[in-house]
Every structure is written in structure tokens, then in C-alpha cells.
Amino acid sequence: MSFELISLNDGNKIPALAYGTGSKMKRHDITQYIEQAIEMGFSHIDTAAFYETEKYVGKAIKESGLARSEFFITTKYPREVPIQKSIKESLANLGLEYVDLYLIHQPRFIPDLLQAWKDFEKVQQDGLAKSIGISNVTDVQQLESLIKASNVTPAVNQIELHPYNYHTMKPIVDACAKHNIVIEAYSSLSPITTYPGGPVDVPLQAAARRIGATPTQVVFLWVRAKGAVIVTTTTSKAHMAEYLAVADLRQSTALTKEEVAAIDNAGARGPPSSIATRLRLVNMKETMILLVVGTMLAMYGLFGLGNASCYQVSVGV
């Protein structure tokens, strides 16, 4: 089952799951991974001029043989380049006549955000982007000032959002909801990938057991419970299938209000300290070293190349 479409405030619709091409993919030829994502069922592809992956997205779209209408393509304006010039360069890289969503990537680096947004409105008027929006706007006053001085309200605000920062991000999430601006959430898997072993693990695992899902899928169900679009990435076909399967889970077994609240409350306690996380990673590395060295010593003894008992192993942190 494909992910549902979410209505934007400009009348367009956006798929609730996007395949991102940033993170570790930046400045790499990732054509094969985008092609695989498309084959698996992703229709919403998220890129940016800064990522330098637009041309690979364009190549994958072309080689898919699918109609343009089958895709929802997002790209982002960087900075220092005139907006009209930048969008035309992005479209040339993508091999498209328009993008479905064009975002200001990092507004804090834009000297005159209000003027930039007026230029974005012109991009939309010219048909080069169906919808326009912002990314990484976390200050409510900045958002309100932009809306007050504009003719077009941003359709989307793409921000980092996960259970450990939800308490901090809630004011901007609520402000966006007030103006019918859809939140797109990136780095939502941080409790699993960046902060393992923290308090959020407990409610994630409990919900996963109840519905027969993985903790990763529970995080994505949590994102959807907040009404946000999921922006995620992977080079693993198995993970792609895991992510896409969330659409079926959401139809059959949504998280309960109590489960969402438990994740929120655990996240409000904050992630494990950076020191604790580093120690866990060091311990994992130390264990792997000991396993490798132990195997090597066993091989020495097995082949009569030495007396394993005479070796002492010391691994320092």
C-alpha cells in the first residue's frame, strides 16, 4: 500500500513519505539507490542544490520510464545565488520543467528573507514550482513575520523532528498548524541511530511488541501521529521495504494516544548524555577488537604458529 497524500494550504497534495538524498549521500553518485527506491515504491524524492544530488535524481527519474505525474520532487534553494538562476539550474539538473516543492534551505543564512520569499512567490507564479515553502525555520517570530509580510503562506516547513527534540520544537509545530503549514520531519530516527539506549527506547519497544512492528516503524508512526511528512534515507533495500510497510501498519494498527504520549514524555527527559553514548560506542568497538584478536590467537594455536596462552591482550579506552 502506498503512503497517503496530505493536503497543502495551496490546494496541492504531498506524499507522506519522502526518500531523502542528503546526509551521507551528499556529493556522491547515488543513481542506483534512487532507482532502487523508485522500484520499491517511493514516489516523493527530496533533494537540494547543496546536496549536489539533483542530477542523479534526474537521471533516475528518466531511466525509470515513469510519467512525470508519478513523482513528487522537492528541491531546495541554497544561498548567495540569485533565486531565478538557482531554480533554473536545479530544473536543468533534474531534467524537469517544474518541481512540486521548492524550499528555502537555510533561511538563517539569507540576508533578506522577506525579499527572498517574494522571489519564491515569483517562482511559483512562473510555474517553476507548484508549491513553495521553508526549511529549518524554528523561530516562531521569524515565521509570523514572514507570513505577515507575504502574499503566499509557506506550504511546508521541513525541520529536524524526533521524540528527543519534540518538546523544544512544539512551539514551531503548533505555529505551523495554526497556519495550516505542513511539517516535514527529517532525522526522526535519531533515538535509534544517534541516541540508542535512551529513555525513548522503552515506549518504542513496548509499542513495537504490541503491533508486531520494528522500533523504526514505531518512530515513523509517531511522526505521522504528529501529522508530519517523513523524510528519510537509506541505501538498504531491506530498510526501504521496512519504511514503506509503515503505510500498511498505519492503516491497520495506529499508535494509541497513550503510546504517543509515552513517547513524548520519554523524549522530554532528553537523550542519553553524549559521554554515555560515546562510552557505549567505545565498548562496542572494544568488544569487536577483542573478538577479532581472540579469533586470530585461536588461529595461531590451531595451526601451531604459536602458543596462544603466552599472549596478553590489553585494549585501552
* Residue 51 falls in the annotated catalytic set: yes
Q: Is 105 annotated as a binding residue?
A: yes
With H, G, I as helix, E, B as strand and everything else as coil, classify residue 265.
Answer: helix
Provide φ and ψ at 4, rounded to 5°.
-70, 165
Contact 92, 71 (CB under 8 A): no
CA-to-CA distance for 237 and 243, rounded, in angstroms? 10
DSSP conformation letters of 290-308: HHHHHHHHHHHHHTTSS-G
With H, G, I as helix, E, B as strand and everything else as coil, classify residue 44.
Answer: strand
Q: Which residues contact 172 (CB under 8 A, 6 or more apart)?
A: 137, 138, 139, 140, 143, 157, 159
Q: Which of 33, 51, 102, 243 is catalytic?
A: 51
Provide φ and ψ at 22, rounded to 5°.
-100, -135
Burial 13-31 (b: 16+ CB within 10 A, else e): bbbbbbbbbbeebeeeebb
User: Measured at the alpha carbon of residue 138, what is the angle toward residues 151 and 107, in degrees to the nearest 5?
Assistant: 60
Question: What stretch of H or E contains 100?
Answer: strand 99-104
Active site residues: 51
In the annotated binding site for substrate, the residues are 105
